[in-house]
Structure 1
Amino acid sequence: MKQISFKNKFGYMMGDVANGLTFGMSAGFLLAFYTDALGITAAAAGTLFLIARLWDAINDPMMGVLTDKMFRKRALKHKNQKVDKFKIYLLKGSWPVIVAAILMFFAPDGLNGTQKLIWAYATYIVWGMTYTFVNIPYGSLAAVMTQDPVERSSLAVARGIGGLIGNILPRLIVPLVLVQFTDELSKGYLIAMILFGVIGLVSYIISYYTVEENIVHQVSDVESTDKDGFVKSIGVLVKNRPFVAVSIASIAMLLGMMVNSAMAVYYFKDNLNALQLMSITGLTGLLPMLILAPIMSKVVKKFGVKRTVATSSLISSIIYGALFLLPSNAILYISVSFMAAIFMTIPHMLVWGMVSDCIDYNQYLCGKRQEGVIYGCYSFVRKMGQAFAGFFAGVGLSLIGYVPNAIQTSQVLWGIKFLTIGLPAFGMFIAFIAYQFIWNLTPEKQKEVVKSINM
């Protein structure tokens, strides 16, 4: 089997740089944009996130099915030719998702409260659908680039680096932009999103021209997959223990991570009175990935995926729990959360390679790969975690009594701290339980699976 090159890994990384830029703006700053710039209440914004993400989650498996069906049509049309299944969507989906993201951070003048809410719903849902159109095929790419578990780990690391860069850049740059536009917050958010949109578009194009699909599908395999139907595919996934483990862990981990991301601007602004220092977390958030990237494949090779992700999840949970009990101090938060982030980053980096393992295991169970369906279902699970994270952050702010652009009470400050630090501790502990007791792919079992599906 052809080995993946540095160019392939770099291209795969750039795809998630692009994804991460719009996603990072949404996860880290859209709630604050809605409450402090557009003028929507926190509770209304939280409900919007829940409803829109639930709808978006439904789209993900549908997009997976559509990807498989469209490939079947192209494969039948171009028999005896190599037909790429997923990479074409990097080109087709690049500009729609960028345009939608820019509109999401645009605040039209002269709208009343109801019209603002309608605008927010429309732009957020459209962005979510365009993001699904490009992200589901992109995520499925790893499964057709290689079947080697070590190479998949390296691809997962590359994607993790790309996603982290995409998510960190907004945290690094947006606070500095907002400081310059304190009287025109909406303008500051829009300028930042346009900048990231340009970078994202270029990143998608680079990714398209540098990734390669090396696992070739036979038309007959695709035809049989198409006839089985979506419902039967879901029935097999319920028996897929690695998929169940990854799903539970991802929901819990994303709940903690995304609530932390959404609440960070409030925590630094209100609890720490140091919004300008939030930019430092952009650098400290990038460092764990840079530290781990050169050694992650070696760690997985030595200890196996299960032991690596379970142990790191538990350590991250313990550190976040300790941080919650410590006094609120900017330097203390930055330094201790940095240590927690190192261990949280490990399962976050490796999860995409683990999804590819779930695809192999699914073929081992029923003889069908169905990358699009499985990745779509996994993306559905992630969107559920994101939906509940947005709901928790928005409604949580409302429940604790947050008042926009005002001095907060001690009760509100405690609530902000719990949402920022306490939930990540809880989420990482649930991830540890899932990986330790549900994931059943040992290195020996993984070799058996790969051997079986290639016979």
Structure 2
Amino acid sequence: MAQNQWASETKRPFGFRDLLGYFMGDFGCNMSFTLISSYMFLFYTQYIGISLAHYSIIILITKILDGINDPIIGAIVDRMGANKKGEKFKQWIFRGAPFLALAATVMFIDASDWTYAAKMGLCIGGYILWDITYTIVNIPYGALSSVMTSKPSQRAALSNARSWGAIIAGVPLGVLIPIFAYEQVTRDGQTASIFRGERMFPIAIILGVVSIVAFALLYFNTEERIQHVEPEDEEVKFSYLKTLKEFFHNRAILGISLASTAQILFIMGGQQLHQLTYQMYFGDGTLSSYSILTQVIPLFVGTAIGGPLVGKVGKKELTTWPMLGAIAVYAFLYFVEIKNPILWIAMQILANSFAFGMTIYTWGMVSDAIDYQELKTGVRNEGSVYATYSMLRKIAQGFGQSFIPAAIAILIPTLDVKDAFTWNAENSLAIRNLAALFPLIGYTLAFICFMFIFNLDKETVTEMQLALGRHEE
């Protein structure tokens, strides 16, 4: 039996407060996520001293295990339902925020003088703890937008706000941290840009406090308007196999999942290679500070261009075709050796500007895909559907974060990331080539997924909302 649905009339109308609150949610999440994804690799391989092979295995296994937790947590959220205030998702975010901040801080304890086994233990245990607490906060946050509004334009605005939250969170991390974390050191007549991992622990503490404040702002500024009430005579049961079967029959969620997998494996994974490119190929790790421009400027461009067009063209359409430009730019970067770091950054800005739709509208398309599953099955279980999507993202993150060190170890065997004497011209060029190749592959695969698998174009979304009894006023 399908769930009864109603939009609460006691909630205030959707407005700027909701956008601000949802913005602060991803801002808070990325106080730890961006920190972990950008600096955990450097911290544990260059500073703590874990080998590339061991690090690769640790990340792969822990991420797969963590991905399995996602549908379990999503099912728990769906099963427990809303509290007396009508909050199904916000309550989890608010309560989990302090634990997420603590777990991110644990990740950067200075263990450089510990035994190798203890270093491994901290990396494994700390990462599992952080992954679990992140899931407890992020799964409800991701599903929250689907109950804040059903209007396509408002969902696009929420997706845009979420993207800005992630990017703005990356500004202090991307600009300030490299300034403090890298230092030019001369040894035996050779100068290299060295990562100073002992400075990461106090940074993690500060970012943890900021994240707690951000989640509090989300809690007090967002509203859950769409309620789903089960008939009293019907017991809610969770079957992961049923959810998984429905998930893989949902062409929309499958398409966006595969596109996100390509993005995480190759595009986001390539960010680690860009850090090494600045450090080794261009000889200055602090250049990473300018790489934030490759995310901020495209988001400005996308907001300026996409805002007036998304209602007319559609999220899928505005995401897919411009991506061909990103593919062309990264193909140029791969085949043409660029030795000027400013030009290298400028070309990335251009490429990512073509791909702005993937940054801005992904989360809105996920909400549409959740509605599509409701249309096909008659059951509204946004927590479980989003959790399954998140599980695939987590597994992709595991492969992506482990694939980079594994690829370096296999393709550039003479490079030791801990030994600056191995950062010679040949090895540095190989790193630079990988930094261009990975996004090229990622954008190509994402284009194929949006073009041939994801099936929710503008017309289909409008018809779906009408069939579900919702429409744009």
TM-score bucket (shorter structure): over 0.9
Tell me the amino acid that sits aligned with residue 20 of structure 2: F
How far apart in 2 are the matches of 1:281 and 1:228?
44
Which stretch shifts more, 173-182 or 103-112? 173-182
Which stretch shifts more, 232-241 or 283-292? 283-292
Matching of residue 210 in structure 1 with residue 221 in structure 2: yes
Which stretch shifts more, 152-161 or 292-301? 292-301
Q: What whole-Å deviation, never above 9, does each CA across 1:101-136 have from its counterpart, x for those lacking one?
A: 011011236411121111110001110110000000
Check whether the contact 1:157–1:296 (CA below 8 A) recurs between aligned residues: no
Match of 1:370 in 2: 381
Match of 1:440 in 2: 455
Q: 1:137-176 alignment to 2 at 5 Å?
A: 137-176=140-179
How far apart in 1 are the matches of 2:99 and 2:226?
28
Tell me the amino acid that sits aligned with residue 405 of structure 1: D
Distance 1:325 1:374, change over 3 A: same
Q: What whole-Å deviation, never above 9, does each CA across 1:57-116 have from its counterpart, x for those lacking one?
A: 1111111111101116x4xxx5xxx51110112211101111100110112364111211
Q: What whole-Å deviation, never above 9, does each CA across 1:201-243 have from its counterpart, x for those lacking one?
A: 111111111111111111329956x336221122111111111
Match of 1:292 in 2: 302
Match of 1:302 in 2: 312
How far apart in 2 are the matches of 1:181 and 1:222?
69
Q: 1:234-273 alignment to 2 at 5 Å?
A: 234-273=244-283
Q: 1:214-225 alignment to 2 at 5 Å?
A: 214-220=225-231
Q: 1:62-77 alignment to 2 at 5 Å?
A: 62-71=72-81, 74=83
Matching of residue 451 in structure 1 with residue 454 in structure 2: no
Aligned residues: 447
Match of 2:32 in 1: 22
Q: What whole-Å deviation, never above 9, does each CA across 1:356-393 have from its counterpart, x for those lacking one?
A: 00111001001011110010011011112211111111
Match of 2:190 in 1: none
Match of 1:51 in 2: 61
- Could you tell me how far 1:180 is from its partner in structure 2? 5.8
How far apart in 2 are the matches of 1:437 and 1:372?
27
Check whether the contact 1:258–1:390 (CA below 8 A) recurs between aligned residues: no
Q: 1:12-411 alignment to 2 at 5 Å?
A: 12-71=22-81, 74=83, 78=84, 83-108=86-111, 110-179=113-182, 185-220=196-231, 226-227=236-237, 229-329=239-339, 330-399=341-410, 400-401=412-413, 402-403=415-416, 404-407=418-421, 408-411=423-426
Distance 1:245 1:274, change over 3 A: same
Tell me the amino acid that sits aligned with residue 312 of structure 2: K
How far apart in 2 are the matches of 1:264 and 1:193?
22
How far apart in 2 are the matches of 1:11 and 1:368?
28
- Could you tell me how far 1:310 is from its partner in structure 2? 1.1
| Secondary structure of the structure 2 residue equivalent to 1:428 | helix
Q: What whole-Å deviation, never above 9, does each CA across 1:310-353 have from its counterpart, x for those lacking one?
A: 11332212211211222232112111001112123321221111
- Could you tell me how far 1:306 is from its partner in structure 2? 1.8
How far apart in 2 are the matches of 1:445 and 1:339?
31
How far apart in 2 are the matches of 1:228 and 1:200?
32
Q: What whole-Å deviation, never above 9, does each CA across 1:235-280 have from its counterpart, x for those lacking one?
A: 1111111111101100001112222222222110101112222211
Q: Give structure 1 stretches of 5+ with no counterpart.
A: none
- Could you tell me how far 1:3 is from its partner in structure 2? 4.5
How far apart in 2 are the matches of 1:237 and 1:297?
30
TM norm structure 2: 0.90
Which stretch shifts more, 135-144 or 196-205? 196-205
| Secondary structure of the structure 2 residue equivalent to 1:107 | coil
Tell me the amino acid that sits aligned with residue 71 of structure 1: G
Q: Give 1 or 2: higher helix fraction.
A: 1
How far apart in 2 are the matches of 1:110 and 1:359?
48
Distance 1:233 1:395, change over 3 A: same
| Secondary structure of the structure 1 residue equivalent to 2:87 | coil
TM norm structure 1: 0.93
Q: Give 1 or 2: higher strand fraction.
A: 2
- Could you tell me how far 1:200 is from its partner in structure 2? 1.2
Distance 1:312 1:60, change over 3 A: farther
Tell me the amino acid that sits aligned with residue 156 of structure 1: S
Q: Give structure 2 stretches of 5+ with no counterpart.
A: 1-6, 186-193
- Could you tell me how far 1:412 is from its partner in structure 2? 2.2
How far apart in 2 are the matches of 1:3 and 1:239?
35
Matching of residue 413 in structure 1 with residue 439 in structure 2: no
Check whether the contact 1:253–1:431 (CA below 8 A) recurs between aligned residues: yes
How far apart in 2 are the matches of 1:298 and 1:221?
45
Displaced runs of 4+ in structure 1, greater than 4 A? 180-184, 221-224
Tell me the amino acid that sits aligned with residue 52 of structure 1: T
Q: What whole-Å deviation, never above 9, does each CA across 1:166-197 have from its counterpart, x for those lacking one?
A: 23431211110113697882321112222211
